[in-house]
Chain A
């Protein structure tokens, strides 16, 4: 089921993909240079939020509804990862 895009929306989607990609590169920079461990966790958190935005934009561009499950999985797994890393830093253990 392919839905044709109008030129206005297609231009906006292209610009948005470029902006979100720049945002992902910036958070990757923070992930690499981050001076402390919580900085890196925060950069990973930002990276998965940016990835959800990119996946949704890709699904809009393709006109396909198959990408929501992928976005939902990325959201759940990213949240679990953030919680687990923060708990590890707090307690020295994930499940106590």
Chain B
């Protein structure tokens, strides 16, 4: 029982750390601001949520009752991350930042297409 709980906690913590690292690698590596916005707002938030879930399970097993602080932080992060990303994207659109051409959704004319 205790060993399986330990393995579950370790897997959660490691998966969370890997997702956080993935988000930051995307932040450094991707070429465009609108592509860079995807990494931290999705991957890093998910990784932090996994680490917080691991902490909630750990402290729920060791104190009487359920430890709800981490659930509160997780909910707050998951609610506020899209709001912040939306505002940052609006600011970037307002400033007319450089966008890559192949992300512009402008498809070349195809003579065979019916529409």
Question: Which residue on B lies nearest to A13, using beta carbons?
Answer: B13
Task: Decide: A90 near B20, CB < 8 A? Known: A12-B10, A37-B95.
Answer: no
- Known contacts A6-B6, A36-B95, A37-B95; A60 and B58 CB within 8 A of each other: yes
Q: Which residues of B contact A (CB under 8 A)?
A: 2-3, 6-7, 9-11, 13-14, 16-18, 20-21, 23-25, 27-28, 33, 36-37, 40-41, 44-45, 47-48, 51-52, 54-55, 58-59, 62-63, 67, 69-70, 72-73, 76-77, 80-81, 83-84, 87-88, 90-92, 94-95, 97
Contact: B63 with A65, CB < 8 Å? yes
Name A19's contact: one of B11, B17, B91, B94 (CB within 8 Å): B17
A26-70 vs B, CB cutoff 8 Å, 1 = contact: the mask equals 110110000011110111011001101100110110010100110
Judge whether B21 and A86 touch: CB under 8 Å. no
Beta-carbon contact of B77 and A52 below 8 Å: yes
Contact call A56/B70, Cβ cutoff below 8 A: yes
The 4 closest A-B CB pairs, nearest first, are A12-B10, A16-B17, A23-B24, A68-B69
Residues of chain A with a CB closer than 8 A to B84's CB: 45, 79, 82-83, 86
Mark A residues whose CB is within 8 Å of B.
3, 6, 8-9, 11-13, 15-17, 19-20, 22-24, 26-27, 29-30, 36-39, 41-43, 45-46, 49-50, 52-53, 56-57, 59-60, 63, 65, 68-69, 71-72, 75-76, 79, 82-83, 86-87, 89-90
